[in-house]
Amino acid sequence: MDTTYASQRSNHEIDYKIYGEELQFVEIELDPQETAIAESGAFMMMDDGIQMQTIFGDGSQQQQQGGLLGKLLGAGKRLLIGESLFMTAFTNVAQGKKKVSFAAPYTGKIIPMDLQQLGGRIIAQKDAFLCAAKGVSIGIEFQRRLGTGIFGGEGFIMEKIEGDGMAFMHAGGYVVEKTLVPGEILRVDTGCIVAYTGNIDFDIEMVRGIRNWVFGGEGLFFAVLRGPGKVWLQSLPISRLASKIISYSPQFGHRKEEGSILGGLGNLLDGDGR
């Protein structure tokens, strides 16, 4: 899917193409002096003529306007969501068009998001951001409600992606995009949320009925998303996949079911009474 945008943007304009089905990578085409930014570890390959440089923070105008203190605060906030103080910028310093590619970290889908068409602001789960056009700001979003922060699965802090350029998220498994009309409500497992537009109201609701959460194995809470706006959901959060792998690993001694009070029963049936 090649995409070119004629409308005026303050962020760098980039063309892109996504390759693959389950293990994807995105190829970004840069005109001379155009730049893409990415998290450490996302880089896959690049043409000769692209210069790679480690930068403090995301290099956006929003961060640069605050001077040295603004840069320190802007970059320092990224530590709260487990990210590095530094990002990597890839700039085309040659004469013609050049390409740089970034790979998904695990099985799933890469989601291209045109921030200019999405209200200029996306709230995403931690670790969802892959890469973007230079000028896009990657910061943090504090949950407004105490209950949301404590019980929301992602904690008080999520990523905030702002600007009018292209940004690319990554999610696990199959990805579905849903558009909610004003007042429409969608209840979701907290780990399945990838991102949502800034006008979506996000809250946490307790599962009703003691049997549902004692025996159901789905936990006590789920996310409540209220429109209007867009929501992106993933079928296989990396946290769920990791917990399954760990629970079946011999080095951890025995199998552990997801959240259910009957978790030990499966071990007994397997002949593992530890």
Interval 193-202: pLDDT, tens: 999 999 999 8
Residue 251 predicted with pLDDT over 50: yes
**Cα distance between residue 152 and residue 154, in whole Å:** 5
Residue 174 predicted with pLDDT over 50: yes
List the CATH number of the domain containing 27.
3.60.160.10
Residue 222 predicted with pLDDT over 90: no
> Is 235 inside a domain boundary?
no
Task: Find how far residue 267's CA is from the centre of its chain.
Answer: 35
> Is 223 inside a domain boundary?
no
Total domain count, the chain:
1
pLDDT at 203: 85
Residue 55 predicted with pLDDT over 60: yes
Interval 104-116: pLDDT, tens: 888 899 999 999 9
Residue 155 predicted with pLDDT over 50: no
Amino acid at 217: G
Helices first, then strands: H and E counts in the chain: 6, 19
Residue 256 predicted with pLDDT over 60: no
> Is 245 inside a domain boundary?
no
Q: What percent of the chain stands above pLDDT 90?
A: 45
| Angle formed at CA 170 by CA 142 and CA 245, multiple of 5 degrees | 95
pLDDT at 229: 96
pLDDT band at 46 (very low <50, low <70, confident <90, very high): very high
**Cα distance between residue 240 and residue 66, in whole Å:** 39
Residue 72 predicted with pLDDT over 70: no
> Is 66 inside a domain boundary?
yes
pLDDT at 64: 52
pLDDT at 146: 47
| Angle formed at CA 53 by CA 51 and CA 59, multiple of 5 degrees | 115
**Residue 198 token pair:** 């800034």
- Reference 220, options 260, 184, 247, 256; nearest CA is 260
Mean pLDDT of the chain: 78
Range of the domain at 41: 15-171
Contacts of 155 (CB under 8 A, 6+ apart): 143, 149
Residue 134 predicted with pLDDT over 80: yes
pLDDT band at 248 (very low <50, low <70, confident <90, very high): confident
> Is 252 inside a domain boundary?
no
> Is 8 inside a domain boundary?
no
Interval 225-239: pLDDT, tens: 999 999 999 998 887
Q: List the single range of 90-94, 201-205, 261-265 with lowest mean pLDDT.
A: 261-265
> Is 4 inside a domain boundary?
no
> Is 271 inside a domain boundary?
no
